[in-house]
Amino acid sequence: MTATLYEIPVESLQGGSTTLAEYRGKVLLIVNTASACGLTPQYQGLEALQRQYGERGFSVLGFPSNQFGAQEPGTAEEIAAFCATTYDVSFPLFAKTDVNGPGAHPLFAWLKSHAPGPDGDADIRWNFGKFLLGRDGGVIARYDPKTPPDALADDIDKALG
């Protein structure tokens, strides 16, 4: 297992491998997203958080996943266009990612190992599962997919100091 969050390789939505090293020292909200889900309107709330707190050292990081009801079937280009035109998303989006099972991306394996779900089961229950990380890269909290983004504002504000 990779030593820190910042060393885990990830793929950008536009293609190309990178890491989360550029986000070191920021408060992060990592979310598995989908474009055709009943919870998809959460993109609006996530973008509102990005705009409210971005200048203070906060970033939402979106990881589209097609694991729940095949609700993210699009190509990278289709996902980018949908997010830009429908929700004016400005936060970074990454390549389509598995979050559960044997093919779970190492980032989500790391997140789940540091913050199991409320019932002790590490698996993410649905699209829009959320992990709040502090400036030190540690997981502060994990939120259920149905938790609306605006409900995280106090926790984000505290993490930003």
Of the listed 28, 37, 60, 83, which one is catalytic? Answer: 37
Could you write out the DSSP letters of every residue in 34-55? Answer: -SSSTTTTHHHHHHHHHHHHGG
64 Cβ contact partners less than 8 Å away, ≥ 6 residues apart: 13, 32, 33, 34, 35, 72, 79, 93, 94, 95, 96, 97
Would residue 37 show up in a list of annotated catalytic residues for this protein? yes
Nearest in space to 95 (alpha carbons), one of 108, 113, 85: 108
Report the alpha-carbon distance of residue 154 to residue 157 in Å, rounded.
5
Report the alpha-carbon distance of residue 58 to residue 86 in Å, rounded.
22
Report the alpha-carbon distance of residue 31 to residue 5 in Å, rounded.
15
Catalytic residue numbers read 37
